[in-house]
Amino acid sequence: MSDSKKQRHHPITRRTFLKAATAAGLSAAACKNSGSHTRDWNPLASQARVTILHASSYAKNLSDLLRQGVKNHPLDVHGKRVVLKPNLVEYHTAHRINTNPLLVAAAVDCFRSLGAREVIIADGPGHQRDTEMLLEVSGLGDVVRGERTRFVDLNTDSIHRVPTATNFTTLQELWLPETILNADLVVSMPKMKTHHWAGATLSLKNLFGVIPSVRYGWPKNVLHWHGINQSIVDIATTVRPGFTIIDGIEGMEGNGPLHGETVNSQVIVMSQNLTAADATAARLMGLDPQRITHLNMMRSLGEPLAEQRIVQTGERLADYRREFRLISEFAHLRG
Amino acid sequence: MSNLNSPSNGHLNGPLNDSLTRALNFLAARQQADGGWGYAAGTQSFPEPTCYALLALADASDKELRETRALAWFTKHLTPSGALALEGDPNGFDNWGTILAFFTLRRLNLGADLSERCLRYVLRARGNLLDAETSKTLKLDGSLRTWSWAMGTASWVEPTAYALIALKAHGLRADERVKEGEAFLFDRVCYDGGWNYGNKEVLGVRLEAMPTVTAYALLALQDCNHGHEVIRKSLAYLESELAERQSSLTLALGALCFDLYRRPTDRLLAGLLARQEEDGGWRGNAHLTALAALALKMAAEKKNVFKV
């Protein structure tokens, strides 16, 4: 059976699964075997499809480009509530840290044109409590107004307890925002960056932003104490985002995710499988995905990391691969 | 519009009083059936918007009924240990929410038993010890254990500032926890003044301060020597930042902070008034609206809620 058929015939939608998990929260959490990593996690596919798109700048018609890219994937958003989760972290005059707002605007337009019932932009910045300031200075506020959509601060949304699908941390449960739980499709929209604690921050690490700071703090320090890599995996398997659009038009190398230098890598990476997308993005950055701890943990769950398990469409990876500069602590990630 | 919540002794010009009245009416209408306040309309009640809304509405004419309902909310969420817990999470202690609850209940003379239990918890709660390697990497004193956002994590600037304000307002300036908290803030200050969440340096890179955290830290150190270099540089940072860019939160906190350091607040208050929306709130958010109302009350009634 093809990947697409597997997904189309999946009997339980993401939202139904999470609603059920929320309702069953306490008893399920209490019954879990903390020694197992995989209680509720079923990998989506033995192979995954990843698309690499060329975009020389943010000035191009990105909406059309994204629509072309999405057509490579069996993604049906008709009538669905789509939540776009960009990487909105901090503002610095000297560094391009956040997912570019023009790409977020293009994604809003793209999913609307494909029939989505509602497209919401949402994030829970990990350091900055002043979301109003962050929206304005980053330019995302203009997108929210221009696209007549809404932004939800996931840090202060209503929250519900959900048992974790895997047990790489000992948390056993996560509090998740209602906006995420009620989404039919969560789209992770990270910026392609190196990361000084995790090696690289891509669509999986970007999901830290769905964790509500009202419960976990600014920064979300509970996750750090439970292990950053372990937390990335438990969040990803529990939240189950259905698509990713990685902003690699401008990436960041060196001391990312905040203080690195801009790389004009001129790519967008898309996939329904976030692990496969991150593995591909890592290769584009000149990194060996198997040496990135959280990606390797995903591999242990059966997720596709090896090139043989990724059906790659669009541009040729080799044409866009470049070696992102690494801090010495992560020199071993070089592929 | 009803003016039930007009300030009792407002003596500023019309726009300020009118703005304050509209803000208080917004907040009064947003109290939820459970007695608390959520950040956005129709969302779950949390300690922070609940505490600041109650403080803003402290002098309103119908305060007794409102406070009775709010007390029921605090009572429901207070665990035997004295910590607030989130709905459905009796074991998940909410450190920073408990600090804010203690501050609010004591400020309003409400629920003496509840606030006493909160106080005992606040004095017991400590952030984790940081090991020597982490301390060295981050260039900070990891032995200082003050207050964390959540149980079982490190100490951070903002919850520590909340605790210092609350404990000092309660007359505990000489307590050893307060002294340790002050030492923590002096240790975590950024090189060019001001504070961020709590790291001044990571992997050799000096990190930038953040205006909201800086305002809270300065509020917490209001009774320290204003001529101290850390305070002078941090005030200068905050003034410079607010001159360059503003938000509802920075304007409200900046005004409340500058008032206690005898700095001009007119420009900040004018900026706040300009951002008020038709419904009387700021961005439809009860937390922002309550802090804005507290800043306007500070100007209208010469009463700063954060003064210790």
Is the minimum CB–CB distance between A215 and chain B shorter than 8 Å?
Answer: yes
How does residue B91 score in pLDDT terms, banded at 50, 70 and 90? Answer: low
Q: Is A128's Cβ below 8 Å from some Cβ in B?
A: yes
Least confident residue range of A64-68, A87-91, B8-12, B108-112: B8-12
CB spacing of B86 vs A178 below 8 angstroms: no
Average pLDDT over residues A131-137: 95
Contacts 24+ apart (CB under 8 A), A64-69: A65/A106, A65/A268, A66/A106, A66/A107, A66/A110, A66/A245, A66/A268, A66/A270, A67/A110, A67/A113, A67/A114, A69/A245, A69/A268, A69/A270, A69/A314
- Could A159 and B86 be called an inter-chain contact, meaning their C-beta atoms sit closer than 8 Å? yes
- For A14-37, the pLDDT digits (tens) are 666 666 666 554 334 433 433 456
Nearest to B209 by CA among A237, A238, A90, A57: A90
Cis peptide before B211 (omega within 30 of 0): no
Tens of pLDDT, residues B137-169: 889 999 999 999 998 999 999 999 999 999 999
Of B128, B186, B129, B193, nearest to B157 by C-alpha is: B186
Mean per-residue pLDDT for A253-282? 96
| Closest chain B CA to residue A93 | B208
Token pair listed for B70: 């709010």
Select from B86, B245, B247 the Cβ nearest to the Cβ of A215: B86
- Touching check for B261 and chain A: CB below 8 Å? no
Smallest Cα–Cα separation from B134: which of B201, B206, B193, B179?
A: B201
For residue B9, what pLDDT band results from cuts at 50, 70 and 90?
A: very low
**At a CB cut-off of 8 Å and minimum separation 6, what does A187 contact?**
A82, A83, A84, A85, A107, A111, A241, A242, A243, A244, A245
Band of residue B10 on the pLDDT scale cut at 50, 70, 90: very low
Residues of chain A above pLDDT 90, percent: 80
Please give the pLDDT value at position A20. Answer: 66
Distances (CA, A) of A5 to A44, A80, A103, A212, B160: 11, 19, 29, 34, 53
Least confident of A29-38, B63-72, B205-214: A29-38
Q: For residue A36, which amino acid is it?
A: S
Residue B88: its pLDDT value, please?
74
pLDDT digits 0-9 by tens, A92-123: 777 889 999 999 999 999 999 999 999 999 99
What is the residue-averaged pLDDT of chain B?
Answer: 93
Neighbours of A29 (CB within 10 A): 17
Task: Round to whole Å and give the CA distance between A277 and A271.
Answer: 6
Main-chain phi, psi angles of B193, to 5 degrees: 95, 155
pLDDT of amino acid A43? 61
ipTM of the complex as predicted: 0.94
Q: Give the Å distances, CA to CA, from A99 to A91, A121, A190, B202.
A: 12, 12, 6, 22
Which of A9-23, A252-266, B14-28, B180-194 has the least mean pLDDT? A9-23
Any B CB within 8 A of A129 CB: yes
pLDDT at A36: 57
- Return d(Cα B265, Cα B287) in angstroms, integer: 20
Say whether pLDDT at B286 is over 80.
yes
The terminus-to-terminus CA distance of chain A in angstroms comes to 32
As a whole number, the mean pLDDT across chain A is 89
Question: pLDDT category, B74, cuts 50, 70, 90?
Answer: very high
Asked whether the beta carbons of residue B46 and residue A156 sit closer than 8 angstroms, the reply is: yes
